[in-house]
Structures are given as structure tokens and as C-alpha cells.
Amino acid sequence: MRPASLADLPKVMEIVRHTVVGMQEAGNDQWDSNYPLDERFLTDIENAALYLAISDSGNTLGFITIDEEQADEYASLSWQLAKPLVMHRVAVHPDAKGQGVASFMEKHAVSMARAKAKDSIRVDTHSTNKPMQSFLEQCGYRKIGEMDYHGKDKPYFCYEKPL
């Protein structure tokens, strides 16, 4: 894992394009042509919050944003713990799926949270994103509630993992 730089943005956006196609094919409209845009990733890079999973050969396998930024909609939920780090925009290149990349990135987020004396990880995902929901549950996240977000017709599910 390493922090992303501006030079990494084209590869990140390539993974986004692949991810949007895969989501659409699965009937998941969490990501689309309006989200996430490169401007969002530029902000993540400027805030030193975007991390890349890199192979031994130097290929970008996936990315994750890890920070303390929480959607305003989180305030209405009954979180169990009060000092979280938050995961956003998690994606794995299609050529690297099934190789443990997402688990590797999630473990990196947990390590960061522990190093910063945080007590949990929070994350949300669209209600149609069944693979992410399954992944989160396998990693020990508990569903806390639902929220309307990004103007989508269906809700987002919010999860928390105690550390």
C-alpha cells in the first residue's frame, strides 16, 4: 500500500471505469457517470487520503480512501462507537479480483485506525451492492442502518467495525 499521487490519477480513473461497467452489469447503480469523478480523487490525493494497492511488479491493483470525513447523513444513525476512521471509494481492478486485494486494503484501513487510536471503521455502500455487503460482513462489519444518499432511489447501508 502507498499513498496515491497526481500521477496515479489516470490509473485510478481506469479502475473506476471498469468498476462502473461491472456495477451496471450487476444492476448496481452506486457508481455511475456522475460519481466518483476525478475531482473527488484529486481532493483525496490532496488530503493524503487515497491509497493504492500495488503489486510486486508495480501494477495498481486497487484503491481505497481512508479518512475521517463522514456524510452529513451519518448523524441520524445509531453508531455504537465514537472515534472512527471512514472508508470510501473502494475498488479493485477486474484483473485482480479474487486475489485478496480488497481484504489487504481493508486490513490497511484497520491498521491505520489502530495507529491513530480510533475505535472503529465506518463505511457505507449502496443497497444494490451485494458483493460489498457480503465482503463487509465477512470482515466483521455490522449493519448499523440505512440512509438516503447521492439522490439515489434506493438507500445506502451503513456499517461499523469495532476495533
Q: Mark residue 102 as left, alpha or beta (left: phi above 0; alpha: psi -120 to 50; beta: remaining).
A: alpha
What domains does the chain contain, in order, with CATH numbers?
A: 2-162 (3.40.630.30)
- Mean pLDDT within 47-65: 97
Residue 32 has pLDDT above 90, yes or no: yes
Mean pLDDT of 100-107: 98
Query: What integer best gives the mean pLDDT of the chain?
Result: 97
Predicted model pTM:
0.96
Q: What is the mean pLDDT of residues 96-115?
A: 97
Angle ∠(19,22,26) on CA atoms, nearest 5: 135
pLDDT value at residue 52:
98
DSSP string covering 72-101: GGGGGS--S-SSEEEEEEEEE-GGGTTSSH
Banded pLDDT at 150 (limits 50, 70, 90): confident
Question: N- to C-terminal Cα distance for the chain?
Answer: 20
pLDDT of residue 151 exceeding 90, the answer is no
